[in-house]
Amino acid sequence: MSRSPRVRLGAVGYLNARPLVYGLEALPQFEVRYDIPSECARLLHAHETDLGLIPSIEYLRGPRPYTLVPGAAVTSTGPVASVAVFTRREPRDMRSIAMDSGSRTSVALATILLHREFGVAPTAVSMPPDLDAMLAAADAALIIGDTALFLDPQSAISNQSAINNQQSAIAKIDLGELWTQATGLPFVYAFWAGWPDAVTPEQVERLQRARDEGVAHAADVARTYYPDDPAREAVASQYLRDNIRYILGPEELEGLQMFYRYATELDLVS
């Protein structure tokens, strides 16, 4: 059967992924849809997309062999700002954690770092990313993406909750920062993975060029994403410039291999 001339791309809808698809929606050879990271993985596993920007843990969980678009990924070295654990407790005292179910890689990363850095394995429950509800149900909350980026943990908690819960202020533990402090390496959150022969070499080159153009036009990406909100636009532009990286190079691959090793040790792959 001949391959369809239009490549079905499953892209993450979060701000940090937009530079990777810069200009692709206007091209006839690509059909782009946006979802949360876990749904991008599900669609690719089910053959409902040809190429997906999947959470890095899903490369191990999917029906391999997948092929990767060389050099393009969503990564960070140091603080990432948009993947964080929020808690009032000392990390070593956590016994439960509410997990934002949007990204399975972030869930695995949180599990690994809590175990390795603080010696805890809190009971996890999957919940929507509502900090007030999450901290009412658990000792800590993992929140990712745009929600985490703009979340002020003190103002996010309702007044009634504050009255009912006279505890210390909420701390934000940036998992990108904690990973780099612990390993000295970048962390890889997501990358383009697809079925063999899903894209031609020319289309791979176009995906890499979209990455380069998106990085070069980060301010335009932020302006398009928040067209009527100058304050958020400014934060978004700084975030894309200072926190997120889009290169999958030797150090990123080393960090990815370490993540896979830790995940396997804790039986987080199956």
Whether residue 97 is found in the same domain as residue 48: no
**Domain range enclosing 116:** 83-183
Q: What is the mean pLDDT of residues 195-221?
A: 95
Whether residue 101 is found in the same domain as residue 145: yes
pLDDT at 157 over 60: no
> What is the share, in percent, of the chain residues with pLDDT greater than 90?
84
Whether residue 136 is found in the same domain as residue 199: no
Whether residue 175 is found in the same domain as residue 96: yes
CB distance 217 to 22 below 8 Å:
yes
**52-76, pLDDT tens digit by residue?**
999 999 998 877 688 999 999 999 9
Number of domains composing the chain: 2
CB distance 34 to 13 below 8 Å:
yes
Domain boundary among 119, 148, 183: 183
Whether residue 44 is found in the same domain as residue 89: no
Report the distance separating Cα 222 and Cα 255, nearest Å: 28
Whether residue 114 is found in the same domain as residue 247: no
pLDDT at 101: 75
CB distance 195 to 66 below 8 Å:
yes
Whether residue 47 is found in the same domain as residue 119: no
Domain boundary among 161, 183, 205: 183
Residue 1 lies in a domain: no
pLDDT at 177 over 80: yes
pLDDT at 2: 37
Is pTM beyond 0.85? Reply is yes
Band (pLDDT 50/70/90 cuts) for residue 98 is very high
Residue 201 lies in a domain: yes
Whether residue 67 is found in the same domain as residue 108: no
Q: What is the mean pLDDT of residues 29-54?
A: 94
Give the relative orientation of helices 250-265 and 175-183 as an angle to the nearest 10 degrees: 100
Whether residue 179 is found in the same domain as residue 234: no
pLDDT at 163: 44
Helical spans, DSSP H, in 97-144: 104-118, 131-137
Domain boundary among 126, 151, 183: 183
Residue 90 lies in a domain: yes
pLDDT at 106 over 70: yes
Q: What is the mean pLDDT of residues 181-188?
A: 98
pLDDT at 102 over 90: no
Q: Write the CATH number for 143.
A: 3.40.190.10
Whether residue 176 is found in the same domain as residue 89: yes
- 156 or 195: which leads in pLDDT: 195
Residue 2 lies in a domain: no
**Half-sphere exposure of 175 toward its Cβ, with a 13 Å CA cutoff?**
30
